[in-house]
Amino acid sequence: MNEAQRAEVILKILNQTYPKTPIPLKYRNIFTLLISVLLSAQCTDINVNKVTKKIYPKHNKPEHFVKLGRKKIERLIKSIGIFRIKAKSIYYLSKTLVDKYNGKVPRTFEQLEELPGVGHKTASVVMSQGFGYPAFPIDTHIHRLAQRWGLTNGKNVFQTEIDLKRIFPKKYWNKLHLQIIYYGREYCKARECYGLSCKICTTCYPKRKKPLITKKA
């Protein structure tokens, strides 16, 4: 089975398994989506949602977080990993949005990636799920599965993004990246399958006998 055939199989199985793809992170507007994605680094979506459920009813605009200040933001998110670094990013990100963008989240990759604490993956999620712009955010699940499915050599997340964008038509990107994340959490887990047991792995590589060791993101 060649790459194009594997891609066709993957799309078919993912569309059957996840016809709908709700965004795992809960948010109220584009700004709170940005904050939630930033908070999700080294933290589960479930934990982020627990924390933001208490924050967003009162604090959901950049000016709210500027008024809170770093120390109060720290107290609000202290149950989340590396909370001091994230609080600093949230404060200065919010201040930049107020000072430079009139409190609005910019709509380009370049402007988003210039914001404190915002990397390419965070910008990609906001562009994709917030603004509907075709993007392919790569997280650890996608990086792992793309290797198990023979879609990339796993050199790094940037190469994985390039490869997946080359293989799959742009119209599928926004939904597909969520489908892969859900599949990786449910069927092709990091410490299970190893390229040997889930439906996609066994369909794409029926003769694979040894566990596939993937490169980390």
Q: What is the DSSP letter of 84?
A: H
CA atoms of 102 and 5, how far apart (whole Å): 48
Choosing from 12, 58, 121, 216, the catalytic residue is 121
The yes-or-no answer on residue 45 being catalytic is no
Examine the residue annotation and report whether 139 is marked as an active-site residue of this protein.
Answer: yes
Q: What is the identity of the amino acid at 97?
A: L
With contact defined as beta carbons under 8 Å apart, do 18 and 179 qualify? Answer: yes
- Of 137, 148, 160, nearest to 192 (Cα)? 148
Out of 78, 139, 175, 216, pick the active-site residue.
139
Distances (CA, A) of 53 to 9, 31, 47: 38, 15, 10
Active site residues: 121, 139
